[in-house]
A = this chain, B = another copy of it.
Amino acid sequence: MIKTASIISTGDELTSGRTTDTNSNWLADRLSAEGVEVVSVITVGDDSERISWAWQAAAADVVISTGGLGPTADDLTTETVARFTGRKLLLDEEQADAIRGFFDRVGRSMPDNNLKQAMFPEGAVPLPNQRGTAPGYRFDLEGGAVGVVLPGVPHEMKAMFEEQVLPWLRGQADADRRFVSRTFQTFGMSESALDEALLGAIDPARGRLAFRASFPDLSVRVSVAGQPEAAERELDELSKEVHRRLGDAVYAEGDTTMQQEVGQLLSRRGLTLVTAESCTGGLISRRLTDVAGCSDYYTGGIVAYSQSVKEKVLGVSGVTLAMYGEVSEETVAEMALGARRLSGADLAVAVSGIAGPGGGSDDKPVGTVCIGMAGDLFSEGAFSGGEFSAGEDIYLEGGACARTYKLGGNREWIRVLSSQLALDWTRRYLLGLEPWRSGFGVRGGG
């Protein structure tokens, strides 16, 4: 039974920062999905001593190495493994033929040094490589552990893992134990607020909670291990509890992004959206158009960075701009109304704010951001009966709604958070929830 894995990544390009190691992440994800816990990932350069150290350090039921199987002198994995395990290196004729065959197929003759790739530590089981010249292999380590050596070229490594390592791995597994997990995407609660809200929700003996902050997304993953059926049932129950405790802070399950969720809601309701952006400068638009097929519900937008574009294109009145300023609830409300008028979209969301580092004042410091929205529900008064708690000072007039936020962080942070607020306003509007309650500092504990 293989419960733990350790991954070794080899290559100077990794330790010098030239290339991001995506193999380890991919392997970790695949192994986790099989219920195998990755206890460590160790990355070393093309150096025999360090590779040897990595194999010594990697303590797990299976150790999977990628890289260092090329034909050149700086490819050292196999000779290091042989020395480390005290085995001889032997030529495997079958694999040598396969390598010659590969060169034949691409119409080249095999350079001599490629023969090195058909040398394996004595007793190793070769893992053929259909897509390149470097076969991998599997061999026994001390204490019942197993070593798996794969090439570093991602598409070769991945195919060999799926076709040869995974079937072997599953063959080692217990049939009556499975590892299942579910992810919840949230917005509007800080990591510590989530932590507090979920305190005691999950018995550590039954499951595990993990938070992941990938700004502006904050997700919660619940995992359970156990008998297949029992584990699934358990996960369903725990999921209900997460929803009950977090409420509308959960905007989606799984890997769904806020822009995908907004897109799905718009599609489902058959509504179209237009954007009017000042400080976010196209970021909301960029996020909406990340989603393939968005042309069904997103008409486009205006990046009204200068005052003249706000006036000339969006039709914000000069009086409003002079009286309240570019960053004001009155201005974003007019931006949203203007964008809606211009495009004929059903719903318009607008942002104007001071992202900094310059441009702040005592009255409106950096981080002051106004979100505005125009849509039928506002003129129909659907939201007008809502009770506002203290401090919820919002603008709600003439088919538009707006609210001012005070956001922290640097320029990038303020812009990204503003775009998330604008998308979350849209999501909430589409769900019939008061848009202006989106964001931090509204819910208790956040």
Contacts and interface: CB of A to CB of B under 8 A. Distances in A.
Contact of A306 (B53, B214, B295): B295
A108 B39 contact: no
A160 interface: no
Interface stretch (A16-24, A80-88, A89-97, A372-380): A16-24
B308 A344 contact: yes
Nearest to A288: B281
A193 B20 CA distance: 21
A88 to B, nearest CB: 24
Given A42-B42, A282-B286, A312-B343, 8 more contacts: A14-B25, A37-B45, A72-B192, A279-B289, A282-B289, A299-B305, A302-B302, A313-B342
B44 A40 contact: yes
A301 B357 CA distance: 22
B305 A408 contact: no
Contact of A72 (B191, B277, B304): B191
26 contacts: A14-B41, A16-B29, A16-B38, A17-B28, A17-B38, A19-B25, A19-B214, A41-B43, A43-B43, A70-B192, A73-B195, A74-B209, A106-B406, A106-B409, A107-B408, A107-B440, A108-B441, A153-B213, A282-B288, A282-B301, A289-B305, A292-B356, A298-B305, A299-B306, A299-B308, A300-B303
A59 to B, nearest CB: 8
A25 B29 contact: no
A352 to B, nearest CB: 12
Interface stretch (A141-149, A230-238, A410-418): A410-418
A39 B12 CA distance: 9
A155 interface: yes
Given A24-B43, A74-B211, A221 B18 contact: yes
Contact of A191 (B39, B45, B70, B407): B70
A321 interface: no
A140 interface: no
Interface of A: 9, 12-22, 24-32, 37-47, 50, 53-54, 57, 70-74, 102, 105-108, 111, 113-114, 131, 153, 155, 190-193, 195-196, 209-215, 221, 275, 277, 279-286, 288-290, 292-295, 298-306, 308-309, 312-313, 342-344, 355-358, 367, 406-413, 415, 440-441, 445-446
Contacts of A213: 18-19, 70, 153
Contacts of A74: 209-211
A74 B46 CA distance: 34
Given A106-B408, A113-B196, A192-B72, A300 B301 contact: no
Nearest to A11: B212
B309 A304 contact: no
